[in-house]
Structure 1
Amino acid sequence: MRAFVFPGQGSQKVGMGAELADNSAIARATFEEVDDALSQNLSTIMRDGPEGELTLTENAQPAIMANAIATLRVLESEFGVSLTDAGDCVAGHSLGEYTALCAVGAFSLAETALLLKLRGQAMQEAVPVGEGAMCALLGADLEKAEELARAAAEGQVCEIANDNDPSQVVLSGHAAAIERAVALVKDHGIKRGIPLPVSAPFHCSLMQPAADRMAEALSDTPPQELALPLYANVTAAATDDPREEQDLLVQQVTGRVRWRESVLAMRAAGVEHFVELGGKVLGPMIGRIDKDAQATSAITMEDLEALAKEIG
């Protein structure tokens, strides 16, 4: 069995998608479609920057999605590999869940771009700049991270945002609580705590205003039928029910990204090969979660050509 997976925020970089666009009319058309949907030259920001503009949450989220869908469309159109024929399920890390839904036909490309633009804006506006923060814990399992979060909270929000792999957990919450968490890592047997360069505390209860806005947006643009099952971030379980997925996308804004558990659930279901499109972030994580899992990451034409041969 094979899963197609899609990266989340942090995988953006200036120049993303340029090589695909230079070599593929399909990729260029994909980026133009997103530009038209957003009434914005997002593809220019992706190609040329400035980096600060691309890193803005409201730009980074649709940009990462556009790059991944362009990669998928090139794979399908130019290398003859159909996601629905070659894959058995899909998943995405945080915003990547929207990309996965686009890939299986639950949202159109234009709908996905608009939803992610709004999601980025809503998450940015939910908490005043400087009041929230996030940190990555290296050498931390879930139990140690939970103990640290409880100790650092002191009446404020300090919650697990991402359970990425056995060696990396991310905390999110009030800035002062996250500072305390970083200072306390050694006391909890954790190797390092690294403050993350993010503009808002994603995936914690402080994001409730953003969840409310997404609930409204998703009621106007609900997901349609999924061509393949999707493993959702907040449950680490498969669903092919659009109504259930609509609710899970709302929960996802404040909920934990259970990526480690999602990969283990896909492995338990029989997935042997994970294909990451549009990034090279999830592949290494998957390798740390299960060293026996096969993971391939593709972002260039050369990568896609090799992937097509690998899939056969």
Structure 2
Amino acid sequence: MRAFLFPGQGSQAVGMGRALAEASPVAREVFQEVDEAIGQNLLKLMTDGPAEALMLTENAQPAIMANSIATLRVLEREGGIRISEKAQFVAGHSLGEYTALCAADAISLSLTARLLKIRGRAMQNAVPVGVGGMAALLGATLEQAQAIADAAADGEICAVANDNAAGQVVLSGHLGAIERAVAMAKDMGAKRGMMLAVSAPFHCALMQPAADVMLHALKAARIDTPLVALFANVLAAPITVPDEIRARLVDQVTDVVRWRETMLAMHAAGVDTFVEFGAKVLAPMVKRTVADAEAISVVTMDDIEALAKAM
């Protein structure tokens, strides 16, 4: 069995999408539709920068989605591949969940782009710059990370945000609490704690204003039953009902991205091949969590051609 995966924020880089757009009219169609949907020349920003503008959450989120969908669409249209025939599940890391739903025809490409523009802006605006922070705890179990978060909170918010892979857990919350967590991480069993260069404290209670914005935006959004089931970030379980998808997309703004558990649950459901589209971020996480699974990253035209032949 096979699952298609879609990366989240942090996988953006100046130059992304250029080679695909130059090589494939299918990719160019995707980028043009996204540009028109959000009223912005996003492809130019993706290919030429500046990096500071691409890093902005409201730009990074639709850009990462567009790059992943362009990669998938080239595979589908030029390789004659249908997701409903070649994948049993889809999943995406944080914003990648929207990409996964677009890939599975639950949300149109133009609507996905608009929703991610709204989501990115809302998440950026939810917390003033300098108030929040995030840190990676390397070599820590989920239980150790939770203990560190609890000890560091001291009346502030300090929570597990991403359970990414074995030995990689991310905390989010008030900056002071996150700095305390990094300082005490090694003494409490982690290999080390490392502050992350992020613009806001994602996936914690401080994001509630953004969750409120997405509740309103998603209420008006057309969501259809996906062609294949989505493994939801906050459940680590498959869902297909549009109203539940809406609810879980709101929940994931403030809740934990249970990525490690999702990979284990997919594997337990029979998935032995994980295919990541648009970046090389999630496949290494899969290998750290499910060592006997095949994990492939599809980024270049050569990658696409190789996967089409393998399928």
Query: Shorter-chain-normalised TM-score: which range?
Result: over 0.9
Find the aligned partners of 2:158 and 2:230 in 1 and give their Cα distance: 29
Aligned to 2:52: 52
Letter in 1 for 2:307: L
Find the aligned partners of 2:72 and 2:282 in 1 and give their Cα distance: 16
1:118 to 2:118 alignment? yes
1:306 to 2:309 alignment? no
Aligned to 2:91: 91
Find the aligned partners of 2:115 and 2:88 in 1 and give their Cα distance: 25
Letter in 2 for 1:198: V
Find the aligned partners of 1:83 and 1:106 in 2 and give their Cα distance: 12
Aligned to 1:224: 224
Aligned to 1:210: 210
1:71 to partner: Cα distance: 0.3
| Range that drifts further, 222-231 or 238-247 | 222-231
Letter in 2 for 1:92: G
Aligned to 1:78: 78
Give secondary structure in 2 for the equivalent of 1:161: strand
Preserved CA contact (<8 Å) 1:57 1:121: yes
Q: Deviations over 1:47-84 (max 9, x none)?
A: 00010100000000000000000001000011112111
Aligned to 1:103: 103
Give secondary structure in 1 for the equivalent of 2:185: helix
1:289 to partner: Cα distance: 0.3
Aligned to 1:161: 161
Preserved CA contact (<8 Å) 1:136 1:193: yes
Q: Deviations over 1:201-240 (max 9, x none)?
A: 0000000000000000000104211111000000000011
Preserved CA contact (<8 Å) 1:231 1:238: yes
Aligned to 1:261: 261
1:275 to partner: Cα distance: 0.5
1:150 to partner: Cα distance: 0.4
Preserved CA contact (<8 Å) 1:222 1:246: no
Q: Deviations over 1:157-178 (max 9, x none)?
A: 0000000001100000000000
Aligned to 2:296: 296
Aligned to 1:247: 247
Aligned to 2:127: 127
Preserved CA contact (<8 Å) 1:14 1:48: yes
Find the aligned partners of 1:216 and 1:249 in 2 and give their Cα distance: 12
Letter in 2 for 1:274: F
Find the aligned partners of 2:157 and 2:194 in 1 and give their Cα distance: 18
Find the aligned partners of 1:138 and 1:19 in 2 and give their Cα distance: 34
Find the aligned partners of 1:92 and 1:157 in 2 and give their Cα distance: 26
Letter in 2 for 1:80: G
Q: Which contiguous aligned blocks of 4+ residues in structure 1 show a shift greater than 2 angstroms?
A: none
Letter in 2 for 1:84: S
Find the aligned partners of 2:186 and 2:25 in 1 and give their Cα distance: 52
Give secondary structure in 2 for the equivalent of 1:176: helix
1:104 to partner: Cα distance: 0.7
Question: TM-score if structure 2 supplies the norm length?
Answer: 0.99
1:192 to partner: Cα distance: 1.2
What is the 5 A alignment of 1:175-186? Answer: 175-186=175-186
Question: TM-score if structure 1 supplies the norm length?
Answer: 0.99
Find the aligned partners of 1:86 and 1:74 in 2 and give their Cα distance: 15
1:193 to 2:183 alignment? no
Find the aligned partners of 1:48 and 1:285 in 2 and give their Cα distance: 29
Q: Deviations over 1:88-137 (max 9, x none)?
A: 11000000000000011111000000000000000001111100000011
Task: State the percentage of identical aligned residues.
Answer: 62
1:189 to partner: Cα distance: 1.2
Structure 2 alignment gaps of length 5 or more = none
Structure 1 alignment gaps of length 5 or more = none
Find the aligned partners of 1:130 and 1:139 in 2 and give their Cα distance: 27
The count of residues paired between Structure 1 and Structure 2 equals 311
Letter in 1 for 2:298: A
Find the aligned partners of 1:171 and 1:15 in 2 and give their Cα distance: 30
Find the aligned partners of 2:246 and 2:65 in 1 and give their Cα distance: 18
1:308 to partner: Cα distance: 1.1
Find the aligned partners of 1:77 and 1:162 in 2 and give their Cα distance: 34
Letter in 2 for 1:25: P
